[in-house]
Every structure is written in structure tokens, then in C-alpha cells.
Amino acid sequence: MYGTERTAPRGQGRCSVTASPTAPADILLLNGPNLGTLGRRQPEIYGSTTLAQVEEAVARRLRPHGFGLRAEQHDCEGELIRALDRHRDTAAAIVNPGALMIAGWSLRDALADYPAPWAEVHISNVWAREEFRHNSVVSPLAVGVIAGFGVHGYELAADALVHRLRRGAAGATG
């Protein structure tokens, strides 16, 4: 299973999917509060796919490109910050901050310090939902934002980051 390593049950704050030792580079998949309950929580908004299934889909998407996956989910902002610090050696990151997009200022600072490109993902189109969700403190720092495509947005983010890394355009757009 793609070199998976679990440190605790999924959705309980400490899970990790690590790349095989031969992988040339890893991409971090970081999920914030409540995302450990994917598949059970508000399926009318977030669907029935579990976080484990999302992680497997992203790992499968990255594998042909030579990238491994490290995945963590935490309900606590401080744990997300520690995860970013632990994984500073990754080539890129896919980040779903959940509701921390609204007021996660400490997470924002940690993302500003993360040395690799990262994409922000939201399962639902947060700008089509309640007005309080329309402002993000982290989006301006991301190389791109993908929202509203369901859990497929994670795979879209993986594709976009692989494309960016392959063409070596650290600051380029397009």
C-alpha cells in the first residue's frame, strides 16, 4: 500500500503515508480539522469517500511520476504546524486547511515559511457557501487554489504540482 505507515487510527490526528525509500521525492498531503471524518461527515457536501481513499488515490496519481506521498491529518492547528516543520524536505504540498482558512493565522505563518510550492484544496466550493467562508488567510500564499471539485480536487492539485515541479518553474505562472 504505497509504503504506508500509520501512527494512529485515521481521523484521530496522527496518520502518515510515507514514500518508499527509493522514491526520489515526496509530496506532502496535509489535511486540517474535521477531514479525518470524510465519508461520514455531511456526505451531501463532502461525499462518501474516506480520507484513506483520498490518500490512496493521490498516491496512485503521484507514483507514475516518481513521487511518493506523506499524508497527515490533524484537528489541531499546532499539530498541522509541527507537521509542516517535520516535512520541510518535501518537494511540494497539497493542503486542505479546512475552516482554518478563515482565521488560521499561525498556520498561515507556517505555510509562509514552508520552502516548497503548495496548493490549497477545498472539497466544496467555499465561495458558494456561507459568506463567512469567503475569505482565506492562507490562499494568497498558495501557488494555486482548487475548490468545488469534490475529493477529485486532491488529484487535480497533485497533477498541477507535478507539472510545476517537472517544468522547474519555481516562480512562474501559467
Task: Report d(CA 17, CA 59) in Å as an integer.
Answer: 9
Establish whether 45 is an annotated binding residue: no
pLDDT digits (tens, 9 = 90+) for 67-119: 999 999 999 999 999 999 999 999 999 999 999 988 999 999 999 999 999 99
Establish whether 109 is an annotated binding residue: yes
Q: What average pLDDT score do residues 37-61 get?
A: 93
Taking the CA atoms of 127, 151, 17 and 24 in sequence, report the sign of the dihedral they define: negative
Q: Total domain count for the chain? A: 1
Q: Of 2, 87, 114, 122, which residue is the catalytic one? A: 122
pTM: predicted TM-score of the whole model, two decimal places: 0.82
Q: Does residue 171 form part of some domain?
A: no
What CATH number has the domain bearing residue 123? 3.40.50.9100
User: Which range of residues forms the domain containing residue 161?
Assistant: 4-166
Q: Does residue 146 form part of some domain?
A: yes
- Looking at the chain, the whole-number percentage of residues with pLDDT higher than 90 is 67
2 is catalytic: no
154 is catalytic: no
Q: Of 2, 46, 114, 154, which residue is the catalytic one? A: 46
Q: Does residue 172 form part of some domain?
A: no
Q: What average pLDDT score do residues 139-164 get?
A: 97
Task: Report d(CA 132, CA 31) in Å as an integer.
Answer: 20
> CB neighbours of 43 closer than 8 A, spacing ≥ 6?
none
Q: Does residue 143 form part of some domain?
A: yes
Q: What average pLDDT score do residues 19-35 get?
A: 78
C-alpha atoms less than 13 angstroms from C-alpha of 24 in its C-beta half-sphere = 9
Bridge partners, 122 (sequence order): 147
